[in-house]
Homo-oligomer: A and B are copies of this chain.
Amino acid sequence: MDPVSSVDFAKGDGFVTAIALDDASGEVLMVAVMNEASFRRTLETGEAHYWSRSRGKLWHKGEESGHTQRVRGIYLDCDGDTLVLRVEQRGGAACHTGKRSCFFRKLEGDRWLDLGEQVFDPKEVYGR
């Protein structure tokens, strides 16, 4: 049976939510969307592929920065419209800001505190 058939892309107009966790620490690294083509490409290659809404194209995560994600486990939720990927994050950072995780802001009282760990300098990596 094709495992892709259990994933409900129809509900989200062709997209599902994909959450990447650091396989070693369990930390939430980032959240993106996948269409069927990106999920199939992820299965074929073992590297996380998402859909870039801003660029309107298949997005091999890390294609520009080299910070790709090796997939170590894939989980599907009860209603089939959200995936969790446990990944090995190459370069140690998933966020385009150069921080390890995109979720670097924590609410303390009325303020969002930046608790992010800076892994790389985005100016050096992206050259802009």
Q: Does A30 contact B73, Cβ atoms closer than 8 Å?
A: no
**Complexed CA–CA distance, A104 and B95 (Å):** 27
Could you say which residues of chain B place their CB within 8 Å of the CB of A21? 28
CB of A119 within 8 A of chain B? no
Q: Does B111 contact A1, Cβ atoms closer than 8 Å?
A: yes
**Complexed CA–CA distance, A123 and B111 (Å):** 42
Q: How many copies does the complex hold?
A: 2
Q: Does B102 contact A3, Cβ atoms closer than 8 Å?
A: no
CB of A10 within 8 A of chain B? no
Q: Does A3 contact B78, Cβ atoms closer than 8 Å?
A: no
CB of A59 within 8 A of chain B? no
Q: Does A84 contact B28, Cβ atoms closer than 8 Å?
A: yes
CB of A31 within 8 A of chain B? yes
Smallest distance from the beta carbon of A26 to chain B beta carbons, Å?
4
Q: Does A95 contact B107, Cβ atoms closer than 8 Å?
A: no
Q: Does A31 contact B75, Cβ atoms closer than 8 Å?
A: no
